[in-house]
Amino acid sequence: MLVAAAVCPHPPLLVPQVAGAAAPELDDLRAACAAAVGSLLDARADVLAVAGGADATASFPGDAAGTLRPWGPDVRVGPGDPVLPLSLTIGRWLLEQASSGGDLPALRFEAVGFDAPPGECAALGRRLADSAGRVALLVMGDGSARRTEKAPGYIHPGAVPYDEVIAAALASGDAGRLLGLDPGEARELWAAGRAALQVLGGAARTAPAACELMYDDAPYGVGYFAARWAW
């Protein structure tokens, strides 16, 4: 049963060692992510699942590791050889920062293909929600990377309206709106978080009792959100 969920973005620059001198530019986002992830740790979950987009769908065990070496310094999280994709690596980093070296619930990591169909994403969400008596879910997903002229995908007129739909859904706890995101539109708008957000849509079978959108901005032309839901 899903008892708590959080949504965070996964830019490498979220990690100060990677951002370097530019690290203060994302201080507000880091604070919002820390609060969102902290709410998952407060939920006393039996299992904490992390879902994020990747080139291919795959499952990883709770001790899976990741590295940010392709984006700069070899910042590593988790034991063993790094196998996690970027989204899950940032998710693990956020969890380790929030726990401050303390114990974490049983972890599992789920990569969902960027092009995975909505039904597949929703089914994964339902399986995660059913995996234990108390489940917390951390969803790693960016909005459109075409918000401004300096964005990775240059500006697209549909980028802001698309991200407004996501922000409204996260602010209101509307899982149905997340499930309604169109994969083709997401590809056109370079919205890397569509599939992961639809995992949340499938996991949330009932409306959350409380929801909060804690961050909604595009500091580098990419839509970033931080939100938390609780049941």
Domain residue spans in the chain?
2-230
First to last CA, the chain: 10
pTM: 0.97
Taking residues 184-198, what's their average pLDDT?
Answer: 98
Q: Which residue has the higher pLDDT, 23 or 93?
A: 93
Q: Which residue has the tokens 């992510």?
A: 33
Tell me the pLDDT of the chain averaged across its residues: 96
User: Is the predicted pLDDT of residue 113 greater than 90, yes or no?
Assistant: yes
Q: Model confidence at 43, in pLDDT bands (50, 70, 90)?
A: very high
User: Is the predicted pLDDT of residue 146 greater than 80, yes or no?
Assistant: yes
Q: Model confidence at 23, in pLDDT bands (50, 70, 90)?
A: confident
CATH architecture of 2-230: 3-Layer(aba) Sandwich (3.40)
Residues 6+ apart with CB under 8 A from 69: 75, 82
Residue type, 147: R
| DSSP at 69 | G
Residues 6+ apart with CB under 8 A from 135: 1, 2, 3, 45, 46, 47, 48, 49, 128, 129, 203
* pLDDT value of residue 5: 98
Q: What is the pLDDT of residues 45-78, one digit of tens each?
A: 999 999 999 999 999 999 999 999 999 999 999 9
Percent of the chain with pLDDT over 70: 100
